[in-house]
Amino acid sequence: MKTVLVVDDSPAELKLMCLYLKEAGYLVVSTDDAKDALSKAETQKPDLVITDVVMPGMSGFELCRSLKKNEATQQLPVIICTTKNQDLDKLWGKKQGADEYVTKPYTREDFIKAVKSAI
């Protein structure tokens, strides 16, 4: 069973993503803090990280860049899941190393399709 680390500072979004993933058969680890996610990515060895962009302390873009620069986590696929839906945002996400970019609001089908594509 694949494990997914979900990072979002919105409790409602975090709960929704975790629900969709659990219903699709994934094990889920979650946090509302990007810095916490960095340590969880190293210790829990998830198969995928899904992160919001706009969060206090460290943005999802910074998290993605940090994961991709760290030898222990650089192979880890990252999905950015955000309301930032401009082409420039998507391009910036890809430049940070994101494997997929999902914009909110999303459908369950689009969300799970991105997860399957990234893993």
Tens digit of each residue's pLDDT (9 = 90 or more) over 15-57: 999 999 999 999 999 999 999 999 999 999 999 999 999 999 9
Q: Tokens for 63? A: 């998290």
**Max Cα–Cα distance, the chain, nearest Å:** 35
Model confidence at 110, pLDDT cuts 50, 70, 90, reads very high
Quick check: pTM over 0.95? yes
Mean pLDDT of the chain: 97
Whole-number Å distance between alpha carbons of 88 and 12: 26
Nearest Cα neighbor of 106 from 79, 70, 73 is: 79
Cα–Cα distances in angstroms (integers) from residue 118 to residues 9, 10, 31, 50, 90, in the given order: 22, 23, 20, 10, 16
Average pLDDT over residues 59-71: 97
Give the position of tokens 């899904």: 50
Q: Tokens for 38? A: 């960095």
